[in-house]
Amino acid sequence: ATEKQTLGFQAEVKQLLQLMIHSLYSNKEIFLRELISNASDAADKLRFEAINNAALYENDPELQIRIAVDKAARTITISDNGIGMSRDEAVEHLGTIARSGTKEFFSKLSGDQQKDAALIGQFGVGFYSAFIVADRITVESRRADLPADQGVRWESGGEGDFSVETITKPTRGTDIILHLREGEDEFLSAWQIKSVIRKYSDHISLPIRMQKEEWDEEAKEMKTTEELETVNQASALWARSKSEITPEQYNEFYKHVSHDFQDPLTYTHNRVEGRSEYTQLLYIPAHAPFDLWDRNKRGGIKLYVKRVFIMDDAEQLMPVYLRFVKGVIDSNDLPLNVSREILQESRDVKVIREGSTKRVLGMLEELANSEDAAQKEKYASFWKEFGQVLKEGMGEDAGNKERIAKLLRFASTQNDSDEQNVSFADYVARMKEGQDKIYYVAAETFDAAKNSPHLEIFRKKGVEVLLLTDRVDEWMLSFLNDFEGKELVSVAKGDLDLGKLEDEAEKKQHEETEVQYKELVEKMKTALAEKAKDVRVTFRLTDSPACLVADENEMSANLVRMLKAAGQ
């Protein structure tokens, strides 16, 4: 179709637009960051497609972003010579939200403006944020592999619908023309635009160019000249040396690669030399994304080869249990035409994944072991957001399981709160004289764990027990027999041997009691023959009359429940 069409936005887009305009107004300058980020992505995509098709560069090989202000027309135009969009792509990408986690996001909205603003931040605002300052947006684009007469003009007032028509566009790439709302004239100042670029987009590796301004003595005002100047540093941030990068620049770069709106929790930046040469800049987000539990999600690492963008979400570069990590890995060894299939086989990739895994674990250890209260607080916050996912590593990454075990945090009878803040090391340091095992109880809820009759004897003796209530806990512990030589034991297991925790007098008393009740036990065994495998006198209860235990070699009741729930 070449005629002009008017189409409605997807319902979610309408809702997002409404929300965004109202809740992000105090932060409105971020629209520029979002549009520049998209332009940079578009250039990355062109460079990647051009690896196998150099003709895509046409006669315009230098990728760049141009920003122009027109005071008379009250417009700002952000132009790139990247991959561009076809008509169909414009309809799809600028009329719907395809991001994963969309459903979860919309179901979490509360109507409370402040809370929702924070949620939008987590979800990512993107292109639509331009409607905060513009009451009309015109997008003119032409995909790099299409002829000049197959350009597209997309236009919308940001309410319910948008129009598309086919146009002739000689240059490839995209121009985004913002018609500023009444009262947004501050963005007509080139000086203001430049300062926003330096603040949010300095890390963009393409040059962002604007016309230079000069003082006009006669008119007593700044006049734009024909000369162009590059506003940003225009070099890949991860390739610069650490000492030249400010924390703010690291944070802004994070927002660009992650599409997150908030600062990251922490990051690590290293150049690795040796058998495999690569640079890694890896971030841990402050908050879990909406699609953390989406099994099809690919992860958050962008792969570059010698500064050339190769792919988003290169899942081979990070194990699944670290899928929340975002960032960039730039390899010097991989071929430019590397595909996902090649990545799977590559030895270089294996080396990179192992190295990056160690880095991430190191970064977490640094927070966890820090004496600094703020760092410790960060680890607690990390654990709340991502602890459940990290636990998967106990099964997935046998080589690092000792390191992961040290990063685990549990609730415990020590503080009787459901906050998970006790490490194995904390537990071991508090072990009683004569205690040589780590005890835990697993249950479906915190209350069930805390009130478990199995705990009675432990409470009486003042022995700490870890309270495990997350679904993956027992599965996870099945990969760990001991922590630094201290065997992990469920208090619900059959022959609970308290070993040296029992004194001689108690042992003697127990033996006598067993003899005394022998007859009763035999009667009960006969009566319960169908229902119980065994009946025993127990000394672990102090208040409850009886409890059920699992056989030494059998799965615990809780694990059985969990596997059933998982359909096995």
How does DSSP assign 347-407, residue by residue? HHHHHHHHHHHHHHHHHHHHHHH-SSHHHHHHHHHHHHHHHHHHHTHHHH-GGGHHHHHHH
Ligand-binding annotation for 101, yes or no, is yes
Residue 276 binds to ligand ADP (criterion: CB under 6 A): no
Per-residue binder mask for ligand ADP (CB under 6 A), 94-133, x = binder: x-----------------------------x-xx------
Secondary structure (3-state) at 516: helix
Site for ligand ADP (CB under 6 A): which residue of 24, 32, 33, 38?
Answer: 38
Nearest to 479 by CA among 566, 543, 395: 395
Of 82-90, 115-123, 181-189, 446-454, which part binds ligand ADP (CB under 6 A)? Answer: 82-90
Q: Calculate the alpha carbon distances from 558 to 62, 81, 108, 471, 555 in Å.
A: 62, 58, 30, 9, 8
Closer by beta carbon to ligand ADP, 117 or else 411: 117
205 to 244: interface string for ligand ADP, x by CB under 6 A: ----------------------------------------
What is the DSSP code string of 456-505?
HHHHHHT---EEE-STTHHHHHTT-SEETTEEEEETTBSS---GGGS-HH
Nearest CA-CA partner of 381 in 347, 350, 419: 419
The C-alpha atoms of residue 124 and residue 289 are separated, in whole angstroms, by 10
> Could you tell which of ligand ADP, Mg ion, none binds residue 83, using a CB distance below 5 to 8 A set by kind?
ligand ADP
User: Which is closer to Mg ion, CB of 43 or CB of 477?
Assistant: 43
Q: Tell me, by CB under 6 A, how many residues bind ligand ADP.
A: 16
The CA–CA distances, whole Å, from 536 to 264, 442, 482, 525, 539 equal 55, 22, 27, 9, 10
DSSP labels for 128-156? GGGGGTEEEEEEEEE-TTS-GGGEEEEEE
Quote the least distance from Cβ 387 to ligand ADP, whole Å. 27
Nearer to ligand ADP, 34 or 348 (CB): 34
Ligand-binding annotation for 125, yes or no, is yes
Query: Does 63 participate in binding ligand ADP (rule CB under 6 A)?
Result: no
Nearest approach in angstroms of CB 125 to ligand ADP is 7
CB closer to ligand ADP, 206 vs 443:
206
Please indicate if the annotation marks 253 as binding a ligand: no
2 among annotated binding-site residues: no
C-alpha–C-alpha distance, residues 482 and 490, integer Å: 12
**DSSP 8-state symbol, 181:** P
Distance separating alpha carbons of residues 488 and 481, to the nearest angstrom: 6
Closer residue to Mg ion, CB minimum distance, 121 or 126 = 126
Task: Give the C-alpha separation, 215 to 217, whole Å.
Answer: 6
Least separation in angstroms between residue 331's CB and ligand ADP is 24
Please give the backbone phi and psi of residue 228, each rounded to the nearest 5 degrees, phi first: -100, 145
Closest separation in Å from C-beta 36 to Mg ion: 9
CB 20 within 8 A of CB 109: no
Q: Shortest Cβ distance from residue 240 to ligand ADP (Å)?
A: 24
**CB 34 → Mg ion: shortest distance, Å?**
5
Task: Measure the CA–CA gap between 194 and 208, rounded to whole angstroms.
Answer: 10
Is residue 353 near ligand ADP by the rule CB under 6 A?
Answer: no
Q: Smallest gap, in angstroms, from Cβ of residue 349 to ligand ADP?
A: 25
Cβ count near 22 (within 10 Å): 12
Q: Is 123 assigned a ligand-binding role in the annotation?
A: yes
Pair 310, 338: CB distance under 8 Å = yes
Q: Does 201 bind ligand ADP (CB under 6 A)?
A: no
Residue of 20, 83, 180, 411 interacting with ligand ADP (CB under 6 A): 83
Give the binding site for Mg ion (CB under 5 A): 37-38, 126
In whole angstroms, give the CA distance from residue 272 to residue 329.
11
> What is the closest distance, in whole angstroms, from the C-beta atom of residue 391 to ligand ADP in the complex?
29
Show the CA angle centred on residue 255, arms to residues 70 and 367, nearest 5°: 155
CB within 8 A of 277, min separation 6: which ones?
331, 332, 333
122 is in an annotated binding site: yes
289 belongs to the binding site for ligand ADP (CB under 6 A): no
Q: Is 296 annotated as a binding residue?
A: no
Minimal distance, residue 148 CB to ligand ADP, in Å: 17
Is 82 annotated as contributing to ligand binding?
no
Write down the residue that tokens 């940079």 correspond to.
40
Give the pair of three-digit tokens for residue 181: 């709302």
Which of ligand ADP, Mg ion, none does residue 388 bind to, with CB < 5 to 8 Å depending on kind?
none
Q: Which does 39 bind (CB under 5 to 8 A by kind): Mg ion, ligand ADP, none?
A: ligand ADP
- CA nearest neighbour of 38 among 86, 121, 94, 116: 94
Give the nearer residue to ligand ADP in terms of CB position, either 256 or 450: 256
Q: What is the closest distance, in whole angstroms, from the C-beta atom of residue 128 to Mg ion in the complex? A: 10
Nearer Cβ to ligand ADP (137/236):
137
Compose the 151-190 pattern: x for residues touching ligand ADP by CB under 6 A, - for all others. -----------------------x----------------
Quote the CA–CA distance of 65 and 34 in Å, as a whole number: 13
What amino acid is encoded at 547 in this protein? Answer: C
Q: Is there a binding annotation on residue 113?
A: no
- Is residue 126 annotated as involved in ligand binding? yes
Residues in the chain: 568
Q: How far is 326 from 287, CA to CA, in rounded Å? A: 12
Annotated binding site for ATP: 34, 38, 80, 85, 100-101, 122-127, 174, 340
- List interacting residues with ligand ADP (CB under 6 A): 34, 38-39, 42, 80, 82-85, 93-94, 124, 126-127, 174, 259
Annotated binding site: 34, 38, 80, 85, 100-101, 122-127, 174, 340
